[in-house]
Each structure stands twice: as structure tokens, then as C-alpha cells.
Amino acid sequence: MTAPSPGRAAHPAALALARRHRLRAWEPIPWVLAVAFYFAFPRHLGFGTELLITVLFAISLDLILGYAGIVTLGHAAFFGAGAYTVGMLAKHGIWTEPITGLILAALIAAAVGLGSGLVLLRTRGLTLLMLTLCTMALLEEAANLGHAYTGGFDGLDSLPIAPLFGVFDFNPLYPRTQYLYVLAALFLCFAFVRTLVYSPFGQSLTGIRENMLRMHAVGAPVRTRLVVCYTISAAIAGVAGGIWAQANAYVNLGTLGLDRAATVLIILVLGGHGRLYGAFIGAVAYMVLSHFLSKIYPTAWQLGLGLLLVVIALFARNGILGIGEAASRVLGRR
Amino acid sequence: MIFGTDLAGMLLGGVAAGMVLFIVSVGLSVTMGLMGFVNLAHGGFAMLGGYAIVLAMKHWGFGFLPALAFGFVATAAVSVAFERLLYARLYRAAELDQVLFTIGLVFIMIASVTVLIGPENQPLPLPAMLQGQVDLGVTRYRTYSVVLIGIGVAIVLGLWLGVERTRMGAQIRAAVDNRRMAESLGINIDRLFTVTFALGSGMAALGGGLGAEFLGLDPQYPLKYLVYFLIVVAVGGLGRVTGVFYAALLIGVLDFALKKYLPQGGTLFIYALTILLLLWRPQGLFGGKAT
């Protein structure tokens, strides 16, 4: 390593760049809270598990939407691909071991991502939006058609999932194992994504989002980068889907639906996209609100959600974290 | 002979469905072509218009044609308010914001209609004149479908003449082809857009009402058929009235035939075909320039 001249290294911009990836003091907080939740609310671990899976799914979307700037309405395609991989392997008694099952789910989802990404990412704008939507609809329809393998409209239930490490059972009524298992998977995937976005590869993704033409001009392999990013994101979404199928012991067409794709988009944007932790904030805000409101007034919840989206699109384009950042800037200036 | 009647029936049914798709989607195509605005709430205006038409006939004693006119005008008026107050702020915004905003709008529409009117399906009360069947020589067919085809043909002719022969039509074509150049020539794009947005939403209202026969009309309408409307627009090409017409007919007939002969996997083919087509021609089957 050659040390840069001290004058340049001490420049604030150089320091900011060099320290960008360092762990900030507040970064362990979400993880501490997640572990605390396990001990504080043993009766709500089912909800907690669902929440953590949603965070994982939203992080996978953040990678392509927030960092690479690919607007997709079909991200649930990969969630569903992972969920159906786990579901079909378990239901037909081929493979029930959870961890390797997740790896398989990630591989299948990545294959779907690579295959569709290679062709879809040649297009942009409305066409890309349409193609992601159609790909997801295609998979949903295929899953609906293949009754014999996928259970069709009813899906597959009571999936036999082998105990974790051969010891810890997945009990749907007391989802203790599921919660810790999902938390561990989320932590690993998050660490991976965090490393990725601060790497030169992640930098080039941000460059592509900000100005694709200029990235072409400086000789970056734009399409390859996008396809690789899309594939990685698909794999993580596949892990989220697979783990969802394992934790709930069932899989249905809803895992592939527009509802799920729209919800994860809303969650990410609500929290703030392109910010890593936006997925946490958005998922907590959305899930807690929907958990309490949708049970009491389902219609009011939809109305509120609609209003929230309109307000975010018009006034708070960077979500809750964006509001926080703006507030801290204003306070810092004083 | 039986095959002939079958074929005629299939074509008529498919074309009638295609007409409804066309009437709903044409406004979406023109507004997307003009502003590049991703308006996922277009089906919402079709639903609002459909409700206005059905309710006007059921509760306020409107006749069929007056109810259609009422639905058109009411929806156009509401859409202008939306356009000026909300949409106009997002023309230069990123695609993601437009998508979120219009999805939010759809949710608001669905929830409001559910609360105010109720979640159940609203059937269109057809006047006695349009019920029953009519003899067409080759085959007998439902009067309403035949009338629907007539209305569709009249609308496409009217729109075609409007776009090809009037000053405003020429301005729309110019703006779709090259917005900057059109603006430089002094065409007021904002006003043009407001007018086309209102007309397009009014047309969607007609489609929502006329199509309530076989698409149904319930609060989930805008989400249920969103993919269909978008497919028609994407296949037809942005801002192309005739392109959308051909695409709507194509998809209407294809969907009708597939549902009849392949009731299980019909839609699968439509999605697959759309994907292949968009990969081959991203600007749509009838679209002009690449976008």
C-alpha cells in the first residue's frame, strides 16, 4: 500500500469517502432491538418473524431500486420462486433440510433473475416496468396451472421442514426457532449487501443510477453490472421467500402476486430507498400500522396507505429516513 | 357450418371485448405518449366513471345514453381537478414517484368506493332494447355486443378524424413525436395535456360503464385489469390511437378465444406473447420511434 500524500488524505472529501463504509455508532441498534424483541415479546414472535422476513425482502429490493435505480413492479417473482422451491422440494419429500433448502431457493431465484435480467434489462422506462410486471404475472399463472406440482390456487400447506441442525424444531405455534433463524439469515444477508454497496461495484451501481450515459462513456460495463446486481438481488429475495415458506410451513400464489410486489415497494420507499436502513424503518412502520389498523378497519387502512403514498410521492421522496436526514441537517446548521 | 357459427361468435365476442379495452386504454396511451407519465390510476377513472353511469341509471333515473354522457362529463371534470392539483406536480419527477403516487391514488379510489358504495359487484342495467339477440345473417348474437362494436367503431373513427384532421390532433401528434420541438414551436403542452387527460379519463369512464357487462364493476376493478390496460398500451405503442385500436382488438379476440379453447392456460400465453413482443419491439407493435 502506498500512502497518499498527507495533504490530500486529510481533505474532508477524502476522509468522507474513506470512512463511508465504517460502522457508525448507531448501527448495532436495530440488531439489539431485534434480539430484545425475542425476550420481551415471546408471544408475538410470529409477527416478529414476518417483520424480519419483510425487512430482508425489502433489502433485496433496495439493492436494485435504491442503488442501481431499476424500477420494478415484479420483485415478488423472486420471492415466489424461492418460496416455491422450498415448498415443492419439501412437499414432495425431496429435500427438507432448512439451510441447504435456502441455498437452493437462492440459486433457483438467482437463475430466474439472471434469465429474466439478461433480456429485460436491455429495456428501460415503461417497457421495463411492463416486462417485470408480465414476468411476475407469467410465473404466477404458471404456478396456478401446475396443480400437480404447486398445488395451484390452494398452494401447498403443512410442509414438512426438518429441524434446524437436526435439533431445533420449527413449531408454527411457538416460532422461537424461526425467529432466531430468520434473524441470523437477515444478519448475514445484510452484512453481505452492506459490504457490496460500499464496494467499488456498489459505487458503479450508484453511478449507473445517477447517470447511465456517463457511466457508458467512462467505459463501465453497464449492462453486466445491472444484470449481476439484479441476479444478486433476486437471490436474496429468493432467500426471503424460501425462509417465509419454511417459517409458515406453507406457500401459496400470494407469494408471486402484484400485492406482495407493491407492498415491498411501498415499504422500501416509506422507509427511504438507497439507504440500507430504510428497509428496517419502513417495514416496522408499515407492519405495525397494518397489524393494528387493518384488523380494525381494513378499508380505512387502504385509504390511509393511499394517502401516505401520495404524500410521500409529492412531498417526502426520501421516506422517513429522508425526513430525518433533512431535520438533522437543519438542526446541524444552527 | 357449426364451426362457422362458432368462429363468428368467437370473433364477435372477442371484438366486443377488444372495443371495451380500446375505449378504456386509448386515453392512457395518449397521456403516456404525451408526458411519459406512468399513470397506473387510469383504471381508477374507468371505475369511477362506471360507477357514475350505473348509479345514474339505477338511482337517479337516467336513460342509457344520458347516463353515459353524465359519466363522461363527471369523470372528465374530476380528472381535470386531479391533473391540475396533483399530477402536474410530478411531470418532471422520477418514474418511481409517479408509480407510487398513482398506486396511492388507486388505493384511495378503491377504499372510497368501498366505503361509499360497498364492495359488491354493480351490474349494468341494460335497456330492454339492447337485451336479447339479433340476427346477423350468418349467426345470431347478443344485441349488446353488436351495439358495443358499433359504438367502438364510431369512437375510433371519431378519434382518428380528430387526431388526423384537427388542429389539436396535429398538436398531439407533434408533441408525442418530439415534445421539446413542439414546445419550441409555441404549442402549450400543459394545456394540451390537461385537455387530453380529461378526454382520456372521460373515455375510460365510458369503457368502465360499457364494459361492466363482462368485466364486472367492483372496487377492485382498477387493480384487476391494470395489467391488461398496460399490455394494450405497450403493445399498441405510446400515443398511437390506431395502434391501441389494433392491439385492443388483437388482445380481445386472443383472450376470448384462449379462454374458450384453453380455459386453463389462456392468460399465460398473453403474458408470454407480450414479453416476447416487447423484447422484439420495445416501442410496441404499432409504435413509431424507439423510446
Cα of A55 to nearest chain B Cα, Å: 19
Domain spanning A42-333: CATH 1.10.3470 = yes
Element (H, E) at B134: strand B133-135
Question: What pLDDT, on a 0 to 100 scale, did the predictor assign at position A8?
Answer: 62
**pTM, rounded to two decimals:** 0.85
Question: What pLDDT, on a 0 to 100 scale, did the predictor assign at position A190?
Answer: 92
Mean pLDDT of A205-220: 87
Among A131, A136, A124, A122, residue whose Cα is nearest residue A78: A136
pLDDT band at B61 (very low <50, low <70, confident <90, very high): confident
Among A141, A142, A313, the residue with its CB nearest the CB of B100 is: A313
Residue pLDDT, tens place only, A78-90? 999 999 998 888 8
Question: What pLDDT, on a 0 to 100 scale, did the predictor assign at position B3?
Answer: 60
With beta carbons under 8 A apart, name residues in chain B contacting A133: 227, 230
A125 to B95: CB separation less than 8 angstroms, yes or no: yes
The answer to which of A89-98, A264-273, A309-318, B132-141 has the lowest mean pLDDT is B132-141
Backbone angles phi, psi at A10, to 5 degrees: -85, -5
Among B95, B99, B101, the residue with its CB nearest the CB of A314 is: B101
Mean pLDDT of B88-106: 85
Is the pLDDT at A1 greater than 50, yes or no? no
With beta carbons under 8 A apart, name residues in chain A contacting B112: 303
B84 touching A (Cβ < 8 Å): no
Mean pLDDT of B228-236: 85
Element (H, E) at B133: strand B133-135
Find which of A4-8, A229-233, A304-308 is predicted with most confidence, using mean pLDDT. A229-233
B103 to A317: CB separation less than 8 angstroms, yes or no: no
Is the pLDDT at A4 greater than 60, yes or no? no
B108 to A269: CB separation less than 8 angstroms, yes or no: no
Mean pLDDT of B271-280: 82
B76 touching A (Cβ < 8 Å): no
> Would you kindly state where each structural domain of chain B is located, as residue ranges?
2-280
CB neighbour list of residue A219: distance below 8 Å, 6 or more residues apart: none
Cα of B288 to nearest chain A Cα, Å: 15
Could you give the C-alpha distances from B105 to A195, A311, B44, B112, in angstroms and in order?
Answer: 37, 10, 8, 10
Eight-class DSSP state of A155: -
B189 touching A (Cβ < 8 Å): no
Question: What pLDDT, on a 0 to 100 scale, did the predictor assign at position B290?
Answer: 42
Please state which CATH number belongs to domain B2-280.
Answer: 1.10.3470
Q: Chain B residue with minimal CA distance to A71?
A: B96
- Average per-residue pLDDT for chain A: 83
Among B103, B44, B111, residue whose Cα is nearest residue A297: B111
The answer to which of A81-95, A292-306, B220-234 has the lowest mean pLDDT is A292-306
With beta carbons under 8 A apart, name residues in chain B contacting A135: 275
> Pick the residue with more confidence: B282 or A253?
A253
3-state secondary structure of B220: coil
What CA–CA distance (Å, rounded) separates B226 from B282? 19
Mean pLDDT of A248-260: 84
CB neighbour list of residue A302: distance below 8 Å, 6 or more residues apart: B107, B110, B111, B114
> Pick the residue with more confidence: B257 or A238?
A238
Is the pLDDT at A284 greater than 60, yes or no? yes
What CA–CA distance (Å, rounded) separates B114 from A246? 35
Residue pLDDT, tens place only, A12-62? 777 777 777 777 777 788 888 888 888 888 788 888 888 999 999 999 999
Grid coordinates belonging to A200? 467499488
Mean pLDDT of B247-271: 80
- Facing residues of B164 across strands? none
Question: What pLDDT, on a 0 to 100 scale, did the predictor assign at position A5?
Answer: 53
Question: What pLDDT, on a 0 to 100 scale, did the predictor assign at position A25?
Answer: 74
Among B96, B85, B113, B84, residue whose Cα is nearest residue B37: B96
- Average per-residue pLDDT for chain B: 82
Question: What pLDDT, on a 0 to 100 scale, did the predictor assign at position B1?
Answer: 44
DSSP string, B52-105: HHHHHHHHS---HHHHHHHHHHHHHHHHHHHHHHTGGGGTTS-HHHHHHHHHHH
3-state secondary structure of A318: coil
Find which of A125-139, A179-193, B113-127, B204-218 is predicted with most confidence, using mean pLDDT. A179-193
With beta carbons under 8 A apart, name residues in chain B contacting A137: 227, 267, 271
Find which of A140-154, B12-26, B257-271 is predicted with most confidence, using mean pLDDT. B12-26
CB neighbour list of residue A138: distance below 8 Å, 6 or more residues apart: B268, B271, B272, B275
E strands present in chain B:
133-135, 140-142
Cα B233–Cα B234–Cα B236 angle in degrees, nearest 5: 65
Report residue A323 CA to chain centroid gap.
22
Q: How many CB atoms lie within 10 A of CB A286?
A: 22
Cα of B271 to nearest chain A Cα, Å: 6
Residue to mutate among B39, B108, B223, with most A CBs inside 10 A, is: B108
Backbone CA torsion sign across A274, A196, A85, A48? negative
Question: What pLDDT, on a 0 to 100 scale, did the predictor assign at position A333?
Answer: 66
B279 to A142: CB separation less than 8 angstroms, yes or no: no
With beta carbons under 8 A apart, name residues in chain B contacting A71: 95-96, 99
A168 torsion bin: left (phi>0), alpha (psi -120 to 50), beta (else): beta
With beta carbons under 8 A apart, name residues in chain A contacting B96: 65, 71, 269, 273
B107 to A303: CB separation less than 8 angstroms, yes or no: yes
pLDDT band at A236 (very low <50, low <70, confident <90, very high): very high
Is the pLDDT at B291 greater than 50, yes or no? no
Residue pLDDT, tens place only, A161-202? 767 776 677 766 677 788 888 899 999 999 999 989 888 888
Question: What pLDDT, on a 0 to 100 scale, did the predictor assign at position B11?
Answer: 80
Q: How many CB atoms lie within 10 A of CB B220?
A: 14
What CA–CA distance (Å, rounded) separates A88 from A76? 17
Is the pLDDT at A235 greater than 60, yes or no? yes
3-state secondary structure of B217: coil
Cα of B228 to nearest chain A Cα, Å: 10
- Facing residues of B141 across strands? B134
Cα of A112 to nearest chain B Cα, Å: 15
What CA–CA distance (Å, rounded) separates A174 from A195? 34
Is the pLDDT at B289 greater than 60, yes or no? no
What CA–CA distance (Å, rounded) separates B253 from B259? 10
pLDDT band at B268 (very low <50, low <70, confident <90, very high): confident
Grid coordinates belonging to B260? 374458450
Is the pLDDT at B140 greater than 80, yes or no? no
Grid coordinates belonging to A280? 428496517
Mean pLDDT of B172-191: 83
B100 to A269: CB separation less than 8 angstroms, yes or no: yes
pLDDT band at A110 (very low <50, low <70, confident <90, very high): very high
Q: Chain A residue with minimal CA distance to B277?
A: A131
What CA–CA distance (Å, rounded) separates B67 from B45? 16
Backbone angles phi, psi at B18, to 5 degrees: -60, -40
Among A73, A122, A126, the residue with its CB nearest the CB of B32 is: A126
Q: Which residues of A touch B (CB under 8 A)?
A: 65, 71, 73, 119, 122-123, 125-127, 129-131, 133-135, 137-138, 141-142, 145, 258, 262, 265-266, 269, 273, 299-300, 302-303, 305-310, 312-314, 317
CB neighbour list of residue B67: distance below 8 Å, 6 or more residues apart: B52, B53, B54, B56, B57, B209
What CA–CA distance (Å, rounded) separates A99 from B24? 49
Q: Chain B residue with minimal CA distance to A139?
A: B268
A309 to B89: CB separation less than 8 angstroms, yes or no: no
Cα A215–Cα A219–Cα A220 angle in degrees, nearest 5: 60
Question: What pLDDT, on a 0 to 100 scale, did the predictor assign at position A62?
Answer: 92
What CA–CA distance (Å, rounded) separates B36 from B59? 39
